[in-house]
Structures are given as structure tokens and as C-alpha cells.
Amino acid sequence: MSDRERMYQLLDTVPDYKIGYVVAYLQGITEGEEVKPNKETLEAFAEVEEMKKTGLGQKFNNLDDLWASLEE
């Protein structure tokens, strides 16, 4: 099954009261100019790539650990 076919299948299961959210999302990703990441975002991407290469950086096994680290 293609992604498009899967999307149609999933769309059939969305309740009517949530269809507006789906429409808004689809409009957001299909209309207007392509959004280009700003300098800070590009730096964050580069930082993540470096962390992946070196194996450095903080790692979490689950969301609870991640949230706990943010509260410290």
C-alpha cells in the first residue's frame, strides 16, 4: 500500500469534528513559500549531526527521563 493510499485509509477514520485540523495541516504543508530554517535552527541541526558522529551528548531511554532532565 502506498503512503497516499494509507493516508486516504486513515482519513476515513478521522471523526468529522477533527477534519478541520487535518485540512489546516494539509494547507500548511502545501501552500505558500517553502520555509527555510533560520541560523539558530541550522546550528542545532549541525550540533545534532556532530553528536551522532561522535556519540557524545545526553541520551534518554524514554520520555520520562527526558522530562526529568528538563526539571533539573
φ, ψ at 35 (rounded to 5°): -85, 125
Higher pLDDT, 11 or 31: 11
pLDDT of residue 44: 92
**Which residues span the domain enclosing 46?**
39-71
Chain segment 18-71, per-residue pLDDT in tens: 989 898 888 888 776 677 888 999 999 999 999 889 988 888 889 999 898 888
pLDDT, residue 31, reads 75
Which pLDDT score is estimated for 46?
93
Mark whether 31 and 43 lie in a shared domain: no
Q: What is the value of pTM for the model shown?
A: 0.40
What gap in Å lies between CA 39 and CA 54, rounded to an integer? 23
Question: How many structural domains is the chain composed of?
Answer: 2
Rg (CA), the chain: 19
Identify whether residues 24 and 46 lie together within a single domain: no
